[in-house]
Structure 1
């Protein structure tokens, strides 16, 4: 194990409930409506994929880019409501003190990622931040994780990903990386069965458990 890559929403910050609220509110304003289960299927995918799907399904008037921008602004306005996932900070500090390089690879847009980095001072501890806008293919395609490995100059097989979404786990495994599925109840009932290990809280993890995944 030479690097740890975190997803952001639902893994670092408990933001999925806010995303759900804002996205469904905006969608209904524009004339569409989906069930909670339908909405949860988009967890871990890119903004572009989700709003493209909504535009086609409901024949929405604004462009995909306009809808992404509307949601982006509302998220930034409400960022004060977001908190770190329970015990994440302690876990991150343990990795940092052990000298492990860390990165963030989020399907979210760059503006939202930067706002979270700033709010929680993540750039003090993590070396690299990649948003969904910086790759051409969203999860479950492995491009975002392979991009992180390339930029950090670390073999994909030496990387560990922590993900809370079905699409994210699929992307990590497609990249040839080890993956811990983080079962966050606020991310919906995500199928994390393809992960190498599934946990519900960071207090269930320590350095020895992570290293054993690579033995």
Structure 2
């Protein structure tokens, strides 16, 4: 399946454009340990694509009463930003984004991360000039898997959802995009997630490399 009549690509950020999931995981475990909370029993990848509020609600019962959601989230952001120098783009990410821009497609980012984390990620990627909009968890009332992040992104760039495709590495993200009416490309960057039947059921196409997006949307690759 290719995607004719397409006007826009809406990107997930973490694990799709930027290889940030390892840092998110390190930050999560380190912040929990700092508060004396053991979360080693949780399966790897259990929170991939899950926004911070839902992560907190899943683990809050393990924390002492004096630790609030706001203080925990502030700790997470501070730990992440302190190590943002370790962030790297997914292979080919910047070139694909530029090629789509050169082909005349509008682009946006719809992330389940907060504003500070998204800003750090965009700085590391250097793709902000090619995006017409960014939507973070702080911009919506309900994050993924709800439809608002993708619906808002499409509204901001002036493209109907049915003429846009989302590129996502998580089940929650694919659920969000489909609920908003976008077509979906599942990027199999995390095998723990991509091997699940739900991932394939929610994705119109599954890819292993980001440059495959260019073929699916009919955009030429950039030289080099």
Tell me the TM-score normalized by structure 1.
0.90
Residue-pair matches, total: 210
Distance 1:33 1:39 in 2: 14
Query: Mean alpha-carbon deviation: is it higher for 140-149 or for 35-44?
Result: 35-44
Deviation at 1:88, TM superposition (A): 1.2
Distance 1:116 1:203 in 2: 20
TM-score norm. by structure 2 comes to 0.87
Distance 1:36 1:153 in 2: 44
Match of 1:188 among 192, 201, 205: 192
Secondary structure of 2:211's aligned partner? helix
2:92 aligned with 1:84: no
1:142 to 2:147 alignment: yes
| Structure 1 residue 176: Cα displacement | 1.1
Matches within 5 A, 1:190-205: 190=194, 191=196, 192-193=199-200, 194-205=202-213
Cα separation, 2, equivalents of 1:203 and 1:176: 24
Partner of 2:53: 48
**TM superposition shift of 1:200:** 1.2
1-structure distance, mates of 2:65, 2:18:
30
In 2, Cα distance between equivalents of 1:138 and 1:39: 22
CA distance in 1, matches of 2:175, 2:41: 22
Q: Is the 8 A contact 1:3 1:101 kept in 2?
A: yes
Counterparts of residues 84-123 of structure 1 (less than 5 Å): 84-123=89-128
Q: For residues 206 and 86 of structure 1, what CA distance do their matches in structure 2 show? A: 14
Return the match for 1:69 from 69, 74, 83. 74
Q: Distance in 2 between matches of 1:134 and 1:36?
A: 32
CA distance in 1, matches of 2:87, 2:65: 29
The unaligned stretches of length 5 or more in structure 2 are 1-5, 219-224
CA distance in 2, matches of 1:51, 1:97: 40
Give the aligned CA root-mean-square deviation in angstroms: 1.9
Residue of structure 2 equivalent to 1:167: 172
Of the structure 1 ranges 106-115 and 49-58, higher mean CA displacement relative to structure 2 is found in 49-58
For 1:53, what is the secondary structure of its paired residue? helix
> Equivalent residue for 1:153?
158
Residue 48 of structure 1: how far off its partner (Å) = 1.4
What is the distance in 2 between the residues matched to 1:78 and 1:128? Answer: 26
Q: Unpaired runs of 5+ in structure 1?
A: none
Task: Check the 8 A contact 1:14/1:83 in 2, yes or no.
Answer: yes
Deviation at 1:19, TM superposition (A): 0.5
Q: For 1:181 and 1:125, locate their aligned partners in 2 and report how far apart those are by CA, in whole Å.
A: 22
